[in-house]
Amino acid sequence: MARLILASGSPRRAELLEQLEIDFDIFSADIDETLKLGESAETYVKRVAYEKARSVAQQFHDRIVLAADTCISLDGSIIGKPQSRVHAFEIWQALSGREHDVLSGICVIAENEVHECVVKTQVTFQQLSQSDMESYWQTGEPVGKAGAYAIQGIAAKYIPTIKGSYTNVVGLPLHETVKLLKAVKALN
């Protein structure tokens, strides 16, 4: 059994964490991720990451728990996963030709220590045509993705610039994750 638990069912987070070449187990946290009234994107991802980590840490007291939560924010509003084709097109029309923020809250709990941070990356989408949106929807990639896109996939061709951490946009900012894991001696 590994000392570290990733409190996430996200395959992307697991793939990113594997890049650090450390052993870890996966145990998904079952928490309510509902946005609270008046909650900012930054506060939301920090709270949800903490609640995921705390939930799993309460079950595994002798382990180090890493949790993260990522969201997309445009003009202060959180953009979620598309509920339908129509909803995906509405999201892309809002993001099209504009810059938006991708925020990730990261939390590491080891015994009674809590280490956390929020990472922000700015992503620019090109102006999307109706044809771009139709063809991207047909790939199936946008389904189940916050902001209706995956930067590590086909959507990369629509993104001319990012300012900040690429791995943050994928779902787990590795540089900051390493810092938090070093703080609890999970990494040298």
CA distances from 113 to 64, 65, 103, 168 (A): 10, 11, 23, 23
Of the candidates 23, 25, 69, 132, the residue annotated as catalytic is 69
Phi-psi region at 148: left, alpha or beta (left = phi > 0; alpha = psi -120 to 50): left
β-bridge mates for residue 124, sequence order: 99, 161
Does 69 participate in catalysis according to the annotation? yes
CA separation for the pair 177, 150 (Å, rounded): 20
Catalytic residue list: 69
